[in-house]
Structure formats: structure tokens, C-alpha cells
Structure 1
């Protein structure tokens, strides 16, 4: 493997659309840092960059500037500013460190990507390694857990991607993107509440927390609709969400609809919205997005993979990303995928994901405990060869399924239904 040089510290930067997951290999875990710059109406003269948002005393009517839109970094100046604040705050010294970075543009290399210039020229990192968040998860499944096939569902802030891997290598034809993520759900919830009850069109932060606190994925949407129409004590769906005042409370509170109110704080009642919002992930057509839902996308991704790998892929569906944290998400995905795949397939959604939001970071840490096992590029190599070196060293993807012919023949010869071996290792 490539010599990793004299760098002493390995930094992992999982650059999510909502939160950055940043930490050092061997530390207790990643820190979650808002990947945005915020202005508040009550503090017009101050701008809150990344982690500084914790210092914003009243999170009413916040204005967001985000470097990532629709899953891609589109504002590199803003992104660099957030990274700089984060490295400084958490005592990361780039000049004596190497950095492993989850590249949001990984699956579409034609998009402009100046991250290496920033890491080498601006910050002075010794070495850089790149992969997608899904790539880290699949590589961990293969190298640590000895699971040769993996279908990774990354349900994040700006989009949802599904991709299949064999031996840690991306099957290019299997990549499917859905233009629905946590941001779209929060915006739709704001619209519905503003239309029916209280104008919250500017309360992105509060309503995003409301979404996280009260929403769930229904196993049977029609049955939940019937439940939501019941009256009084028969209705087990409706909840009251009491808005925070940022004086005595800093996050909203969920109450039963019959519970007495202890204050005059504004509140909203959520019924159908509790499960109709996450349902958009499974049926984007509900809000006029002409795309398949996440379960259909998983089936299509597996179907686009080589035939001899499909059964094994269906046995190891790994769900990551903050938008998969809704109660019921994994069970609903399993139910729907099971109903659409052949009966002889043993469909399983991995239970080895303790925290979907930080799972990719944790997988990267396990892999990078031995940095010599992964490919790195240093400043000198980057100056000499640039993009051509980056693609050859990091972009481990198939161009056509024919390239997997040897692998599938190997599976046939061994008679393996599920390419797994070895003992599993828990985090």
C-alpha cells in the first residue's frame, strides 16, 4: 500500500448536508457540527458559523446559508469557512495530520471539486483519502465484518442514495438517487402547519426539531389514516407540540392532546402530519415529485446489479443517514422491499447500525485504525498528477457489470447464496 508518511493524526470528516461529523481516530467519537452559517433576527450584527450556532440564544427566524444543496457542495468559500472554524475549535492541527473525507461529489466526478486544493493549499494537511459515506460503510462491511455484498441506503438531509457494493467496490449501474431528504420533509411540514394552524414559515430550526420529535413511519399508511380520523380519547395519533420560548425551554415539548398546558407558549397539534411527512420518503409522488420511493429504489438498485449477486445483496441492506432515524423506518423498508423481491430471497435490513447519522464515521474509524490499509495521496503527488491520480486511487467503481463476471462465476463455483464468512465484529 501507499506509504502514509510522517503524519501523526488521522482526521475523519464526514461532510453531511445538515451536520458535519468530525473527529480523530482513537477519540471517543465524532462531534456533530452544523454545516451552515446562520443569521438571527435578534442579533443582526453577528453571524454564527458552524458550531457557533450553540451560542445563538434565540433560534427564532434563523436565516441559513448552506454550502451543500441537493447533496453537492455548491459554495466552496462557505464550506471552507465552516471547516476552518471547526478545525480551530476542536484543536485539529492540519500540518501534522492526514484527513479522510466523505466526498459528496463522489458519484458524479464531473462536478467541480476543489476540496484537495483546500486541504493541501489552505490547511496544509499531509495526506488526503476520499470515499463516499456509503463507500466507507460497504468497505467496513467487507473488510471488518466479512460481508462481501452490501446494499447501502443513505437517507440524508438533501437527498437519498441507494448503491450496491461487492467486495467494497461500487456497482456503478446500481446507483439511484431520490431528490427527497430531511430538508424537503421539514419544508413540507412548515407549509402544512402554516396553512392549517400557525405561521411557522421562518421557523426552520424549531420545526426541524418538531419533525424529529413527533414524526414516525407508518407500517400501514391507510390504517394510520383511519386511526387519525378518530375522535377524542380513541385517537392515539394526535400530539401537541409546545414551542420553545428560548428563555425557560430550548426545545419543544411533546404532550398528549388532553394534557393541561402549563404555560401560554404557542403550541401546534399534529395528527396526520406525524406519519404523512416521513411517508414522502416512501412515496415522493405525494408532493408531486415524479420519482420512486426508497423501497422501490432499493429493489431497482438490486435488480440493476449482476443477477448472481442479487440474493446476497438483499440479505445485507444497510441503512444510514439522519432521515432514517424516524421510528418505524427500518421495519417499513424491510416490509416493502420484501413484498417486491422474489420469495426465495432472504431480505434483511442490518441491525448493526447503532446510530445511522454517525455510522459512516464509525465505519471509517474502524478502517483507518490501520491507515496503511487504505490509499492516500500526499501534496507532492497531487501537485504532479492532480485529478488523474485522485480517480485512479479513490474511485473504486465498476464501469460495466461485465467486469464482475469473474466474481459472479466465483460465487457460482462455491455455491454461495450469501457471500459472508468469518465472525462478526460489533462496534
Structure 2
């Protein structure tokens, strides 16, 4: 991170951290912000809380929302009522983008080409080619067919960082099913990997993780909360984080939630236009709101009260 022409002494900072972060890490962060960089004021907050602030700002009539934040390291399910975090309902699924990319690397290395050292390239492959299946077993059958009957298979051209700076997926009508390409391009042929990798978000047990899938985690979270609030959460499930950009993720999650939720409750899964920056945009809104000064800690407060004032104000 590079910051130019910023005087920290006159600057306020918002910094995000995971739910239930270790107190030792929180105290170290306080020291870095106030003692090393000497920010004028600071706010430590969960990314989900910023996203909830954005949601309630955009939907002023909503009472509750359930944030599903599926990012790099893990997926969090966090319920909010009027921007207030309900800690008893927070659930974590230990599946994130890093695990999906690593799993795809292992599959490709076993089946085709050693790519264990090519994390950046395979992460791009994952983002370009993978999708969430709506009918897993039907797609699995199609992926085993031969020739043009196989509508799942795709050929991905790997970058050589000379003439091809970034990899890309060949259009289906340009794919060669018999023989080899004459262009000399290095090709990855992907079939069931395209949907089997994102499937781990729904069935972590596929790779031996003793964890709930995202739909079960959502239901478990809502069931732990007062019954009169359930309807409000089911109709305001909000997706943020990079994994929510998989094609078909929102539709599959909504379908599975519909099958798990009580029949009389409406279910709606909402996806913002930019789920990756949704929390950042929430922080921007918060920083310009009249309530901002009430939630932050100033350097003077910290110097007078130490870590105690941060623990009191930052509801992490």
C-alpha cells in the first residue's frame, strides 16, 4: 500500500478486520494506528458491518438483513438488525477463494499440467471459466460426453506473457475436438472442473471438510435468532465478496434456501452491482454520515484511556 501526501496527524482511518478477531491482534492494530502512524482518529470495524450500513442506507424500510460475505479466506454469514450485529447468529464456513483456487491447481496438475506454482494464472482461470451448477448430476453427465455433445467443456488458452499477456477462453465454435490446435498455444481443457470447484461452497464435505455448506449455514444462523425475525432475514439475504460473482451462485443459493426454509416464508437473495466494493462503499457512506464522529476513537481518547476505549467503542 502506497500513500502519498497524507498527513496522518490530521487523518481519520477506517480499517476492517474479521469477526471475533483475537484481542492481541486488535491491541497491536491500535498501537500501529495511534502510536506508530499517529492517526488523528480511527475506526476498526467488520467489513460486513460496513456492508450492512450500505444496505440499510439503500433500503431504509428494511428491518433486517443477512450478509453472506464469501471472500478470499472464508465465508461469513452475519445477521444484522438495523445495522446492529447479532453476534449469536454469526457463522463461518471455512471455504474461500484461496481454497477454491488451490483445489483447481491440484486437479489440473493431476490431470493435465503441473501448475502448482501458478496461483495467479489459475486464479484467473477460475474466475473466467468456473460457474455454479444448477443441476450438478446432469452437468456431470454432460461433461462426460464426447465431441460437440459435451456443452460443458471449454478450452482455455494460457498466457505466455509475451504475445499473450492474459489467458482467455476459446469460443465454443472455435474448439477443436479431434487433433491439435495449429497455433502452438498452450491449452487447458476444462470439463467438470468448471462446476465441481465452486460446488465446494455448497458441499465442503466433497474434499473432506467437516463444515456446513453456505445454505445450511444461513438456515442455522437464522434458526438461532428470535422466530419473529426469521421472515425479515430470509427475504433480505445479501451477497458480497468475490465468490458471489460465480455465474449461477445467486440462483443456486436462492433455490437451495427455498427448499430448506419454511414454506410460508418468502426467500430473496440479493446481489449488489459490485459485491467486491460494497463494503468499501458502505465505509464511504459512513465516513460522510453525521454518526461517524460517535463511533470512532480519537488519538487523544486513546492516549488517555488506552486499549479500553477501543474495546468499548469498537463492537467487533
TM bucket, shorter chain: over 0.9
Query: Per-residue displacement from partner, 1:79-110 (whole Å, max 9, x unpaired)?
Result: xxxxxx4224xx54423310111122x42344
Is residue 376 of structure 1 aligned with residue 292 of structure 2?
no
Moved more, 312-321 or 220-229: 220-229
CA distance in 1, matches of 2:234, 2:305: 39
Preserved contact between residue 54 and residue 279 of structure 2 (Cα < 8 Å):
no
TM-fit CA distance, 1:250: 1.7
Quote the residue 1:348 is aligned against: 268
Q: 1:372 to 1:299 in 2, by over 3 A?
A: closer
Report the aligned-residue RMSD. 1.7
Preserved contact between residue 72 and residue 242 of structure 2 (Cα < 8 Å):
yes
Quote the residue 1:119 is aligned against: 33
TM-fit CA distance, 1:129: 1.1
TM-fit CA distance, 1:371: 5.2
TM-fit CA distance, 1:220: 1.3
TM-fit CA distance, 1:382: 1.0
CA distance in 2, matches of 1:139, 1:370: 11
Preserved contact between residue 238 and residue 256 of structure 1 (Cα < 8 Å):
no
Query: Per-residue displacement from partner, 1:231-282 (whole Å, max 9, x unpaired)?
Result: 1111110001111011122211101465364632321100000000000011
Classify the secondary structure of the residue corresponding to 2:264.
Answer: coil
Q: 1:92 to 1:144 in 2, by over 3 A?
A: farther
CA distance in 1, matches of 2:46, 2:219: 21
TM-fit CA distance, 1:141: 2.5
Quote the residue 2:2 is aligned against: 86
Is residue 306 of structure 1 aligned with residue 226 of structure 2?
yes
Query: Per-residue displacement from partner, 1:161-207 (whole Å, max 9, x unpaired)?
Result: 10111111111110111111000000000000000000001100100
TM-fit CA distance, 1:383: 1.9
CA distance in 2, matches of 1:179, 1:387: 30
Quote the residue 1:361 is aligned against: 280
After TM superposition, list the pairs within 5 Å mapping 1:16-415 onto structure 2. Answer: 85-88=1-4, 91-104=5-18, 106-113=19-26, 114-146=28-60, 147-256=62-171, 258-259=174-175, 261=181, 263-351=183-271, 353-370=272-289, 372-373=291-292, 374-395=294-315
CA distance in 2, matches of 1:133, 1:326: 20
Preserved contact between residue 180 and residue 284 of structure 1 (Cα < 8 Å):
yes
Query: What is the TM-score with the length of structure 2 in the denominator?
Result: 0.92
TM-fit CA distance, 1:216: 0.3
Preserved contact between residue 54 and residue 278 of structure 2 (Cα < 8 Å):
no
Classify the secondary structure of the residue corresponding to 2:2.
Answer: helix
CA distance in 1, matches of 2:84, 2:56: 10
Q: Is the helix fraction higher in 1 or 2?
A: 2
Classify the secondary structure of the residue corresponding to 1:185.
Answer: helix
Query: Per-residue displacement from partner, 1:366-399 (whole Å, max 9, x unpaired)?
Result: 2222254451111111122233211221207xxx
TM-fit CA distance, 1:144: 4.5
CA distance in 2, matches of 1:395, 1:122: 23
Preserved contact between residue 54 and residue 281 of structure 2 (Cα < 8 Å):
no
Gaps of 5+ in 2: none
Moved more, 369-378 or 272-281: 369-378
Q: Is the strand fraction higher in 1 or 2?
A: 1
CA distance in 2, matches of 1:347, 1:87: 43
Gaps of 5+ in 1: 1-84, 397-427
CA distance in 2, matches of 1:120, 1:262: 61
CA distance in 2, matches of 1:375, 1:248: 52
Preserved contact between residue 316 and residue 350 of structure 1 (Cα < 8 Å):
yes
Classify the secondary structure of the residue corresponding to 1:296.
Answer: helix
The total of aligned residue pairs comes to: 308
CA distance in 1, matches of 2:24, 2:201: 26
